């Protein structure tokens, strides 16, 4: 009569093999995930700035008050504040780590008259971990446009020759059929 019972389970070698595969996979995936999170946070912050600017201009026109978007750096991170000075602060948001207004940017604040007209025209340049992002404020055919361009800098600080530009049209009473735009 056979009294030996067969035991089931994994050997130590099998466990070490599976764990080593898991460690190799996680070492490859974690840096990619971190870069994706940082890139997504910067993109979301940039889109939020554009939406805040549009909201401020709309608020100025609807309520006949002066509004502005200003950037401050109270600590290590830059923050932007949307406000109607003296009356209300709409929002205060931190930018992602490493994102800030360039010292070469000719606009440090975006301000609107009570009728919604922008006070100063020019470029607002934000530096990110991936390069610089610029919003250009200009008057064109009776309406204001925000032209967004991004330049990525590769290793060795050579600018990427591909420049992606978008025009975001708003505050239009009528659009000419010859207008070229992408939104």
94-144 pLDDT, tens digit each:
999 889 999 888 889 999 988 888 888 888 888 888 888 888 887 754 455
Q: Where are the domains of the chain?
A: 13-169
Of 82, 78, 59, the closest CA to residue 70 belongs to: 82
At 76 the pLDDT is 84
What average pLDDT does range 24-43 have in this prediction?
Answer: 85
> Which of 2.30.29, 1.10.287, 1.10.8, 3.55.40 would CATH assign to domain 13-169?
3.55.40
**Per-residue DSSP letters for 141-153?**
TTEEEEEEEEEEB
At 89 the pLDDT is 92
What average pLDDT does range 43-68 have in this prediction?
Answer: 92
Question: Taken in order 118, 119, 122, 127, is the CA torsion positive or negative?
Answer: negative
At 147 the pLDDT is 59
Q: CA–CA separation, 135 vs 147, rounded Å?
A: 6
Under a CB-based contact definition with an 8 Å cutoff, are residues 98 and 116 in contact?
no
Q: CA–CA separation, 58 vs 75, rounded Å?
A: 31
**Structure tokens, 90:** 């709409």
At 182 the pLDDT is 38
| Three-class SS state of 132 | strand
58-67 pLDDT, tens digit each:
999 899 999 9
Its pTM surpasses 0.75: no
User: What pLDDT band is residue 155 in, cutting at 50, 70 and 90?
Assistant: very low
At 8 the pLDDT is 78
Write out the E strands in the chain: 67-72, 79-84, 88-94, 100-101, 109-112, 122-128, 131-140, 143-152, 164-169
Question: Taken in order 112, 68, 103, 123, is the CA torsion positive or negative?
Answer: negative
User: What pLDDT band is residue 168 in, cutting at 50, 70 and 90?
Assistant: very low
């Amino acid at each position: 009569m056979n009294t030996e019972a067969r035991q089931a389970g994994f050997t130590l070698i099998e466990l070490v093999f599976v764990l080593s595969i898991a460690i190799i996979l996680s070492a490859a995936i974690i840096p990619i995930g971190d870069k994706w999170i940082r890139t997504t946070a910067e993109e979301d912050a940039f889109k939020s700035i554009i939406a805040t600017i549009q909201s401020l201009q709309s608020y100025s026109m609807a309520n006949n008050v002066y509004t502005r978007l200003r950037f401050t750096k109270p600590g290590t991170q830059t923050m932007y504040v949307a406000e109607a000075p003296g009356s209300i602060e709409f929002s205060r948001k931190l930018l992602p780590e490493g994102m800030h207004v360039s010292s070469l940017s000719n606009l440090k604040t975006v301000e609107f008259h009570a009728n919604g007209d922008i006070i100063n025209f020019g470029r607002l340049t934000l530096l990110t971990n991936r390069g610089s992002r610029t919003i250009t404020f200009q008057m064109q055919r009776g309406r204001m446009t925000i032209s967004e361009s991004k330049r990525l800098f590769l290793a060795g600080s050579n600018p990427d020759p591909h420049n992606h530009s978008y025009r975001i049209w708003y505050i239009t009473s009528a659009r000419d059929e010859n207008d070229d735009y992408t939104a």
